[in-house]
Amino acid sequence: MRDRTAASSGHRPALGAGRPFLLLAAGLTASSLAAGCAAKPVAQVSREDLEKSVTYTTAPGNGQLERLTWALAGGEPTSLDPALIGDYPGSTVEANLCEGLVRMTADFKIEPGLAEKITRPDDRTIVYDLRPGVTFTNGDPLTPEDVVYSLERHTQDKKLGSFWSSTYDGVTSIKKTGPMQVTVQFSKPSVLFEESMATPPGVISQKAYVEKAGATYGTPKGGVMCTGPFALEKWAPGEQITLTRNDNYWDKTRLAKAKQVDFKFINDSSTLTSALLAGEVDGMYESPSTSYSVLANSGSGKLYLGPSTQMVELLPAQETGPMADPRVRQALDLAIDKTALVANVYGPAAEPLNTMIPPGMWGTGPTRTVFEEAYGKLQDTSKPDLEKAKSLVAEADPANRSFVAAMPAGDQTALQILTFVQAAAKEIGLTMTIRQIQPTEFSDLFYNADRRKEVDLVYAVGYSEIANPISYPDNYVRADGLFNWTGYDDPEVRRLMDEGLHTADVSTSAELFVKAQALYTPERLVIPLAGPYEQLYMNNRISGAPVSFAYLQMPWAAMIGAV
């Protein structure tokens, strides 16, 4: 998992394991609200109508485009090297340039990609037969050597510092085993590895090109060399990134309709919203929540809502203080009217959460029912229970009933949410102070325990790259987990998670996960608040883009055409 709240400064846990990243590029600032982006209130939508409106994709756009102009949520990428991508801007661009052995569909399913056939001779072996005729955008053919090099690079190149090295935990060898075949062997089964090959750790770059580029690979100077439907034409730092269509792309059913894609870096939400409404920018993912009503009522385009694996949450920050006590965390969770919070902050673009796993992570496969039924058995915390909350505070009787909640300075959505939580805390006899911290320093909270000594809760917006619930909570429940800041350690939860992660059977994995979830959720290792839907805005001249959060792992720009 990644986390939008921790900025892109190296906060890179294992695949799918909750991570916090700062989305200030959406311009969520008080000044932008004053500039007129708040507009009229969002009309509430019934649950039934909402479910009908949430979609995985948009109607096909079959016409050719000379140019597509897109705004990047999060601003300018820090890198386009697949090994160093772990946030919105880089992933949004890279998904159109590079590909993995498998690829993700809009409904989060996995299908063959650069590997036309995937077989499992046993639970500890995966064989990838590569698709013939695939070339990199420079015309050179894809080879098994490129695949082995790209996958091994995450662990073999120690200077690189890949964000994705933990994806290969348990991998014992990656070898060429035929003219167009690569075999991966494991010391123990992995339920997530096949899906992960559709995400950055499975992306294939050309070995010769990467070795020549060295440390400049993925930068404006070094560029990238992959097999996708677009090639990197130019990266003008501080201005824009330009892609051009790869007319020799191997999948003729996904040839890009746009000859050129220009990515713009617009960091102020009022400017961004104006550009979208005026047609100066054709569209964007993660459109500003503060501009929801303006974009939803626009006559020049349409705002779409899609399934998402994102979640808004509060992370207990240390092993001492009031939030170190699970009873106080439970009390605060029960004091918050999450239904009202969502309605006031997101309108119909989110739903309240009872646990750290949002419904968007249930996927669309046969195990969805298992996850859905387990969620229904959890305590419903969408409405407040002040009496129960007060009794928990009295039982815990914390020595200090005051605590500090940290957020990134300038994030108006975070401020709205924490102000709401602050009022809820007051209702049950707790005093919460909101501390706004500059983005770089705020990001350091996620890696530096000393920095967290001055705060009790950290506002976070996280996401998982894949729609499998077991991919997310590992770094919260493991004793040495990256986000286990309270010292939580339950041997039974750890056993269930380990067994669930290290099986090749998805049904067994799902059953083990829901048992673990039932045990750790009441501890409130995070205080879950809301599961936002994906927000995609496109003007009326284009269509065809996927709407779900799976766009981060898909060549979405190739699917967009003129209406």
Domains of the chain: 2-23+308-532 (3.10.105.10), 54-90+215-306+537-562 (3.40.190.10), 102-213 (3.90.76.10)
- Taking only the tens place, the pLDDT of each residue in 89-98 is 999 999 999 9
d(CA 107, CA 166): 25
Q: What is the pLDDT of residue 524?
A: 97
Distance CA 310, CA 461 (A): 7
In the predicted model, is pLDDT for residue 5 greater than 80?
A: no
Percentage with pLDDT > 70 across the chain: 91
Q: What is the pLDDT of residue 150?
A: 98
Lowest mean pLDDT across 71-75, 144-148, 223-227, 559-563? 71-75
Query: Which of 22, 536, 25 has the alpha carbon at shortest distance from 268?
Result: 25
* Strand, helix or coil for residue 459: strand
- State pLDDT tens for residues 338-389: 999 999 999 889 999 999 999 999 998 899 999 999 999 999 999 999 999 9
For range 529-551, the mean pLDDT = 97
Is a pLDDT exceeding 90 seen at residue 208?
Answer: yes
- Which residues contact residue 423 at a Cβ distance below 8 angstroms, ignoring those fewer than 6 apart? none
Is the pLDDT higher at 38 or at 295?
A: 295
Distances in Å between the alpha carbon of 297 and those of 43, 50, 109? Answer: 11, 16, 32
DSSP secondary structure letter of residue 384: -
Backbone torsions φ then ψ of 250, nearest 5 degrees? -70, -30
Task: Tell me what pLDDT residue 380 has.
Answer: 96
Dihedrals phi, psi of 560, to nearest 5 degrees: -85, 130
- Pick 84 or 289 by higher pLDDT: 84
Q: What is the mean pLDDT of the chain?
A: 90
Backbone torsions φ then ψ of 110, nearest 5 degrees? -110, 135
Question: From residue 63, how far is each of 246, 561, 562 by CA, in Å?
Answer: 17, 5, 4
Q: How much is the pLDDT for 347?
A: 87
Q: Identify the residue whose tokens are 């203080």.
A: 321
User: What does the pLDDT look like over 477-512, one tens digit per residue?
Assistant: 999 888 999 999 999 999 999 999 999 999 999 999
pLDDT score of 49: 55
Average pLDDT over every residue of 530-541: 96
Of the pLDDT bands very low, low, confident and very high (cuts 50, 70, 90), residue 19 is very low
Q: How many CB atoms lie within 10 A of CB 66?
A: 8
pLDDT score, position 410: 83
Q: How confident is the model at residue 29 (pLDDT cuts 50, 70, 90)?
A: very low
- Sorting pLDDT into bands at 50, 70 and 90, what band is 38? very low
Instruction: Sort residue 41 into left (φ over 0), alpha (ψ -120 to 50) or beta.
Output: beta
The predicted pLDDT at position 61 comes to 94
**Planar angle of CA 91, 92, 95, nearest 5 degrees:** 70
Structure tokens at 65: 């485009």
In this predicted structure, what is the pLDDT of residue 34?
27
The separation between CA 271 and the C-alpha centre of its own chain, rounded to angstroms, equals 25
Q: What is the pLDDT of residue 6?
A: 43
pLDDT digits (tens, 9 = 90+) for 397-437: 999 999 999 999 988 889 999 999 999 999 999 999 999 99
Q: Which amino acid is at 536?
A: L
Contact 357, 514 (CB under 8 A): no
**How much is the pLDDT for 355?**
97
SS3 410: coil
132 CB burial (10 A radius; 0-12, 13-18, 19+): exposed
Q: What is the pLDDT of residues 96-136, one digit of tens each?
A: 999 999 999 999 999 999 999 999 999 999 999 999 999 99
Tokens of 265: 């870096």
pLDDT confidence bin for 440, thresholds 50/70/90: confident
pLDDT band at 201 (very low <50, low <70, confident <90, very high): very high
Question: Phi/psi at 78 (nearest 5 deg)?
Answer: -85, -25
Whose structure tokens read 């387990």?
A: 374
Supply the pLDDT for residue 259.
98
User: 54 or 209, which is more confident?
Assistant: 209
pLDDT band at 48 (very low <50, low <70, confident <90, very high): low
pLDDT of amino acid 32: 28
Structure tokens at 37: 């982006």
Question: pLDDT band for position 35 (50/70/90)?
Answer: very low
Specify the pLDDT at position 12. 31
Going from the C-alpha of 529 to that of each of 24, 285, 375, the distances in angstroms are 20, 22, 15
First to last CA, the chain: 35
